[in-house]
Structure 1
Amino acid sequence: MSTLRSAVWVPLFDELAEPAAVVRLAAFAEEHGWGGFFVWDHVRWRAPVTALADPWTTLAAVAAATTTLRIGPMVSALPRRRPQVVARQSVTLDRLSSGRLVMGAGLGSDRFGEELSRFGEETDDRARAAMLDDAIAILRTAWSGEPVRHTSPWCTIDDVRFLPRPVHGTIPLWTAGFPGRRRPLERAARADGFVPVNLEHPDELAAAVARISGLRDASGTGGTPYDVAVPLPADADLAAFAAAGATWWLTDVDPHTLTLDEVRGVIRDGPFQ
């Protein structure tokens, strides 16, 4: 059975769109022994949600108010962000937090808030998949301190070094995807962690973990640290998912009804033991 760490995972919506309140929640989570504090990254969401906060600004405040929590956007839709800006933001936040940043990355979706189509972003899944892979490659090189040279239809970076480097030389990158689909699992195998989307059963997780492990073994990276972060409600059989390969539990909540008091209650009940 994997050792299961616990992270508060919340959307920055409505009551949680107030950054000062979110900072207090993060400090409260640290006091109660939680291992991480991750936030959703969105610019729009469907009704009844009306207010949203920016994740990077909020996480900077969280970093300054905490000392042990792993923090990060979980996950950020990199195809709608400029990778050179994310390179600067991520390292700044990593250094501000003394190396506690985890970078979550995914395709994004137009399904829940039309946050692609309403802003003229790319809505084709295949195109965004290519953009995501490009962005990940750019970030990896940027974090290494080596010059970034990249030309594609959506991004040009002409021989630019990104300094300073992250505290630990790089930043852990977890990719999100459906556990039964080939390409997301292949992408996850090249990353440092996997966040399965719409996971329904521990057996489904075990199959995905086995596939990722096989790919990592074949590439020669099987012996390096790897995380599997599973969004689950607090009443789920967390032990069963840990046995299937989960290393992190992310608190899955209803974004349409979530309140500060509800999050405080989840934190107060404590992390998985």
Structure 2
Amino acid sequence: MPATSVVGMRFSVTVGAVGPGRDPRGLAELARVAEESGWDALFLEDYLVYQGDESEPTWDPWVCLAAMAMTTSRIRIGTTVTPVPRRRPWKLAAEAVALDQLSGGRFILGVGIGDPNDPFMGRAGEPTEPRVLAEMLDEALEVIDRLWTGSPVSFAGKHYQLDGVRLAARPVQQPRIPIWVGGNLLVPAVRRRIARWDGSCAYKGSTDAPQQITPADVRALLAERAGPFDVKVSGGDPAEFAAAGATWWGRWIPPASTEDTLAVIRKGPPHI
């Protein structure tokens, strides 16, 4: 089935790599069905322990993405979002290039600071102060972007230092793999970060009390960013968001049985 596109809008599904049927083999099959059912992308949430719940197995999303790349040929795959501060930026840069090559240029890297209240990270001795995480994210993105050029990189930051290092492998997509920024749209630093990169997959308000992003929010984001730019939203009327300039409308499927997840995916994207 061909991809659905109305006024430039595309449609995605986001799931967590958690529980039965969402291991690498299961997600490879979900991706194949999503492509057949007309979706334009399947994104994975990026957790070591899904939302701090240790009762269900969480599968490494990056291994799952590699499996998904091998069962699809059209849809985009990626993360929404990877908590970059818990990764070494040079390792993340190399993994993203490998996935972009494996998928033939279909990878999107969604990024954020991660959940400061993630109990796993705190007990593992990782930084949890939001200000520090934001500093690490901004430095890491600069490092990753430079490493993707294939040129030697020297960088002297507060959290990362590189002295003429080089990764020769380059992504298929140029000038770089798209970087979509997540986080709270109401935080000024998040908005500045969104304007610096290639897209927004941000939410609005706190995770405890989320607010619905509106078409007016989309128009305001686009006014702050010159040139081509992706805005991914969820909920609301897809047609109204498309008219405001949003380029992606996404549906999140919470942890569920394989049968229930497949039933949602097989319905395909909204018709607008």
TM-score, normalising length: structure 1: 0.88
**Equivalent pair of 2:233/2:246 in contact (CA under 8 Å):** yes
1:130-145 superposed matches below 5 A: 130-145=135-150
Contact 1:70–1:102 at 8 Å: present in 2 too? yes
Is the 2:233–2:249 contact (alpha carbons within 8 Å) kept by the matching residues of 1? Answer: yes
> Counterpart of 1:14 in 2: which secondary structure?
coil
- Within the alignment, does 1:212 sit opposite 2:221 as a pair? yes
- What's 2:61 paired with? 55
Quick one: which of 253, 264, 267 aligns to 2:265? 267
Is 1:25 the counterpart of 2:30? The answer is: yes
Amino acid paired to 1:215: E
Q: Check 1:210–1:262 CA distance in 2 against 1; reply closer, same or farther (3 A cut).
A: same
What residue identity is the alignment partner of 1:154? H
AA partner of residue 259 (structure 1): S
Partner of 1:219 in structure 2?
Answer: none
Counterpart residue type for residue 230 of structure 2: D
Match of 1:228 among 225, 231, 248: 231
Of residues 64-73 and 10-19 in structure 1, the stretch that sits farther from structure 2 once superposed is: 10-19
**Aligned-partner Cα distance in 2 for 1:46–1:91:** 29
Work out whether 1:106 is the aligned partner of 2:115: no
Partner letter of residue 264 of structure 1? L
Render the CA deviation track for 1:123-153: whole Å, top value 9, x for unaligned.
0101110100011101111111222212334
Matching residue within 178, 181, 186 for 1:180: 186
Q: SS state of the match for residue 253, structure 2?
A: coil
Distance 2:223 2:244 in 1: 15
CA contact (8 A) 1:41 1:74 kept: yes
SS of the aligned residue for 1:116 comes to helix
Q: How far off its partner does 1:202 sit?
A: 4.7
For 2:46 and 2:251, the matched residues in 1 are separated by: 15
Match of 1:167 among 172, 178, 191: 172
Gaps of 5+ in 2: 1-5, 205-209
Kindly provide the CA deviation profile for residues 10-37 of structure 1, in whole angstroms up to 9, marking residues without a partner as x: 0011124421111101001111111101
What letter is aligned with 1:104?
G
Rounded to whole Å, the distance in 2 between the matches of 1:239 and 1:16 is 32
Structure 1 residue 47: Cα displacement: 3.4
Percentage identity across paired residues of the two chains: 37
> Where do residues 153-164 of structure 1 align in structure 2 (5 Å cutoff)?
153-164=158-169
In the TM superposition, what is the alpha-carbon distance from 1:46 to its structure 2 partner? 3.1
Provide the C-alpha distance between the structure 2 equivalents of 1:118 and 1:250, rounded to a whole number of angstroms. Answer: 33
Q: Where do 1:31-42 residues align within 5 Å?
A: 31-42=36-47
1:87 aligns with 2:85: no
Give 1:214's aligned amino acid. Answer: A
Q: Please, which of 124, 131, 150 is the counterpart of residue 119 of structure 1? A: 124
SS of equivalent residue, structure 1 residue 144:
coil
Aligned with 1:264: secondary structure?
helix
In 1: Cα distance, 2:141 partner to 2:133 partner: 12
> Given that residues 4 and 272 in structure 1 are in contact (C-alpha distance below 8 angstroms), is that contact kept between their aligned partners in structure 2?
no
Deviation at 1:48, TM superposition (A): 6.9
Are 1:13 and 1:49, in contact at CA under 8 Å, matched by a contact in 2? no
Q: How many residues get paired?
A: 259
Distance 1:202 1:134 in 2: 28
Q: Is the 1:202–1:240 contact (alpha carbons within 8 Å) kept by the matching residues of 2? A: no
Specify the code of the residue in structure 2 equivalent to 1:226: F
1:182-224 CA distance string (max 9 Å, x none) = 1101100111000122463353x523x34433332xxxxx12x
Consecutive unaligned residues in structure 1, runs of 5 or more: 217-221
Contact 2:150 2:169 in 1 (8 A): yes
1:145 & 1:62 partners in 2: Cα distance?
Answer: 26
